[in-house]
Structure 1
Amino acid sequence: MGSGKQVSRSAHIGDAGIALIHQRVSAMDHVWHERTVDAGIDGTIELRDPATGEVSNCHLQVQSKASDNDFPGETADRFHYDCDERDLDYWMKSSMPVLLVCSHPKRGEAWWAHIQSYFADPARRASGRVDFNKITMSLEGDVSDRLFAVADPHGRAHTPVADLRDETLESNLLPVTMPDVFWAYDGAVTLPRKVYDLQRESSLDIRDDFTLFGGRLLTWSPVEDTALAGAVNGDPTIEATGELLDGSPDSERILVRLLNNAFRQDLRDDCAFHGKRHMLYFRATDDLTPRS
Structure 2
Amino acid sequence: MTRPPAAMVPLRFVARMFYLCGMPKRITDNQLIGELGEAAVRKRFLSFGFQFDPRSRLEAGIDGIAEIMIEGEPSARMIAVQVKSTRTGNYTGENDTGFSYLLENKDLDYWNNSNLPVILVLYRERDETFFWQPVNAGLGPETRRLVFSKATDVLNRDAVDRLAALTVPKAGFGYYVPPLRGGETALVNLLPVVLPAEIFVATSPYESKRAIAELFNQQEPPRFDWTIRDGAFWSFHDPRIASTRAIVDLDQVEAVETRELAFHQDIDEQNNFSFLLRQTLRHQFGNDLAWDKDGKLLYFQALERNQPRTFQYRSAKNKTEADVVNVVRHPKTPEKISFVRHHAFIPRFECLMDQWFLMVNPTYHFTTDGLQRHSYPHALLSGKKRLDNNASLRGQVIMWHRFLTGYERRDTGLFASDNDAPPPVLRFDPFPEIDLPTTVPEDVWGKPKAKGKASGGQPELIPS
Q: Which runs of 5+ in 1 are unaligned?
A: 71-79, 93-97, 116-127
Corresponding residue for residue 74 of structure 1: none
Corresponding residue for residue 220 of structure 1: 236
- The 5-angstrom pairing of residues 85-234 of structure 1 reads 87-89=111-113, 91-92=114-115, 98-101=116-119, 110-112=132-134, 128-129=138-139, 141-144=158-161, 147=164, 150=167, 160=180, 162=182, 172-190=191-209, 195=212, 205=221, 207-214=223-230, 218-222=234-238
**Contact 1:46–1:57 (CA under 8 A) maintained in structure 2:** yes
- The 5-angstrom pairing of residues 39-54 of structure 1 reads 39-50=60-71, 54=72
Largest Rg, 1 or 2: 2
Deviations 1:197-218 (A, max 9, x none): 8767777545341234336654
Deviations 1:200-245 (A, max 9, x none): 777754534123433665433355786667xx75635435452564
Aligned-partner Cα distance in 2 for 1:227–1:17? 79
Matched, 1:33 2:53: yes
Matched, 1:235 2:253: no
Aligned-partner Cα distance in 1 for 2:298–2:119? 40
CA shift, 1:65, in A, is: 8.7
**Contact 2:121–2:133 (CA under 8 A) maintained in structure 1:** yes
What amino acid maps onto 2:54 in structure 1?
E
Alignment equivalent of 1:255, drawn from 273, 289, 296: 273
> How high is the TM-score relative to the length of structure 1?
0.54
Aligned-partner Cα distance in 1 for 2:270–2:263? 7
Aligned-partner Cα distance in 2 for 1:18–1:202? 81
**Contact 1:65–1:102 (CA under 8 A) maintained in structure 2:** yes
Aligned-partner Cα distance in 2 for 1:61–1:152? 13
CA shift, 1:149, in A, is: 8.4
Corresponding residue for residue 264 of structure 1: 282
CA shift, 1:248, in A, is: 1.0
CA RMSD of aligned residues (A): 5.8
State the secondary structure of the residue aligned to 1:211.
Answer: strand
Stretch moving more, 23-32 or 255-264 = 23-32
Relative to structure 1, is the Cα distance of residues 99 and 201 closer, same or farther in structure 2, using a 3 angstrom cutoff? farther
Corresponding residue for residue 291 of structure 1: 312
Deviations 1:56-85 (A, max 9, x none): 26341314497x669xxxxxxxxx999856
Relative to structure 1, is the Cα distance of residues 100 and 162 closer, same or farther in structure 2, using a 3 angstrom cutoff? closer
Aligned-partner Cα distance in 2 for 1:12–1:201? 89
The higher relative CO (CA closer than 8 Å, separation ≥ 6) is in 2
State the secondary structure of the residue aligned to 1:129.
Answer: coil
> How high is the TM-score relative to the length of structure 2?
0.38
Relative to structure 1, is the Cα distance of residues 13 and 57 closer, same or farther in structure 2, using a 3 angstrom cutoff? same
CA shift, 1:249, in A, is: 1.0
Relative to structure 1, is the Cα distance of residues 274 and 30 closer, same or farther in structure 2, using a 3 angstrom cutoff? farther
CA shift, 1:264, in A, is: 2.5
Identity %: 13
**Contact 2:226–2:236 (CA under 8 A) maintained in structure 1:** yes
Relative to structure 1, is the Cα distance of residues 65 and 86 closer, same or farther in structure 2, using a 3 angstrom cutoff? same
Relative to structure 1, is the Cα distance of residues 18 and 273 closer, same or farther in structure 2, using a 3 angstrom cutoff? farther
Aligned-partner Cα distance in 2 for 1:289–1:205? 28
**Contact 1:31–1:48 (CA under 8 A) maintained in structure 2:** yes
CA shift, 1:21, in A, is: 6.8
Relative to structure 1, is the Cα distance of residues 248 and 270 closer, same or farther in structure 2, using a 3 angstrom cutoff? same
Aligned-partner Cα distance in 2 for 1:279–1:181? 27
Aligned-partner Cα distance in 1 for 2:286–2:33? 59
CA shift, 1:33, in A, is: 3.3
Relative to structure 1, is the Cα distance of residues 134 and 282 closer, same or farther in structure 2, using a 3 angstrom cutoff? farther
What amino acid maps onto 2:192 in structure 1?
L
**Contact 2:41–2:123 (CA under 8 A) maintained in structure 1:** no
Q: Which runs of 5+ in 2 are unaligned?
A: 1-25, 85-90, 94-102, 314-464
